[in-house]
């Protein structure tokens, strides 16, 4: 429903005509019908507000959000106000009924899920006992008599039946859970790969360059972190070969500063 209602603004401008639109349980208002495409000036969710009529003026009504806000509105005549009251009340009642129905469905689904979970625990305990019984037959019966074989077959049949019942109950639990929870809740909005390469951020690289000045490349640094001992070992061998092949370190003695003064 849509149409013109007068809305109380303030004591300076008083009652001003506004274009109201009731759609899907939300009452929105605009400066005029032409401004609908520009967006509403405000909106009220009917499910959370109370409707009150004026005791003396048969054209006025109030929409009250408890503890928050009051909207004072006035129709052009009593008949128009009655049309709006019926539309607003019906919208509020439908939303209330829908919410009550959903809450009831959720409650019933939760109770059904609890019942099935208790059945699963019972069947799980029964399975453990039956498996333990079969294990006792296998470990303690060395004669393999016809009576023991018959008992073994009976225990195996009971175990198979219990397994089938357990699986059936588990499938029912899954169905109830799927009906209760929406599939969107189990989907990631942005799926990430299981393993992604980690690269240092610019801030980390800046911190590293400040704490360890020099012209060492990132690749060499990462390689030295992975294999510190092997890199040091290769470096020491390379220095030994260099010192043995050249005369720059072993054959040229260091000059004494005192002799240079003399």
Q: pLDDT 10s digit of each residue in the chain, 262 long? A: 888 999 998 999 899 999 999 888 888 989 888 888 888 888 888 878 888 888 888 899 988 888 778 889 899 999 898 888 888 888 777 765 566 666 666 666 777 777 778 878 887 888 888 788 777 777 766 666 666 677 777 777 877 887 888 888 788 878 877 776 655 444 434 433 333 344 444 445 544 544 444 444 444 444 444 444 555 555 555 555 544 444 444 444 444 444 444 4
Burial of 54 from C-beta contacts in 10 A (0-12 / 13-18 / 19+): middle
Q: Return the pLDDT at 116.
A: 77
Please indicate, yes or no, whether the overall pTM of this predicted structure exceeds 0.75: no
pLDDT at 99: 62
Q: What is the pLDDT of residue 19?
A: 92
What CATH number is given for 2-76 in this structure?
A: 2.30.29.30
What is residue 142's predicted lDDT score, i.e. its pLDDT? 62
């Amino acid at each position: 429903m849509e149409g013109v209602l007068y809305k109380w603004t303030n004591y300076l401008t008083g009652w001003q005509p506004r274009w109201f639109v009731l759609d899907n349980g939300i009452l929105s208002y605009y400066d005029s019908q032409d401004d609908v495409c520009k967006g509403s000036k405000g909106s009220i969710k009917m499910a959370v507000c109370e409707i009150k009529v004026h005791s003396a003026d048969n054209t006025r009504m109030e929409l009250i959000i408890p503890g928050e806000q009051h909207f004072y509105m006035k129709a052009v005549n009593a008949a128009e106000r009655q049309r709006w009251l019926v539309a607003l009340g019906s919208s509020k009642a439908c939303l209330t009924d829908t919410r009550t129905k959903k809450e009831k469905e959720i409650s019933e689904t939760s109770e059904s899920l609890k019942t099935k979970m208790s059945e699963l625990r019972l069947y799980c305990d029964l399975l453990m006992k039956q498996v333990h019984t079969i294990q006792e037959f296998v470990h303690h019966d060395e004669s393999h008599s016809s009576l023991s074989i018959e008992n073994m077959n009976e225990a195996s049949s009971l175990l198979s039946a219990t397994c089938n019942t357990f699986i059936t109950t588990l499938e029912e639990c899954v169905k109830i859970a799927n009906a209760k929870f929406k599939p969107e809740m189990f989907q990631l909005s942005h799926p990430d790969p299981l393993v992604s390469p980690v690269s240092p951020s610019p801030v980390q690289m800046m911190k590293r360059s400040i704490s360890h000045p020099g012209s060492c490349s990132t690749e060499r640094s990462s390689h030295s972190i992975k294999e510190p001992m092997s890199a040091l070992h290769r470096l020491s061998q390379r220095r030994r070969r260099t010192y043995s092949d050249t005369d720059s370190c072993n054959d040229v003695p260091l000059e004494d500063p005192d002799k240079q003064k003399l």
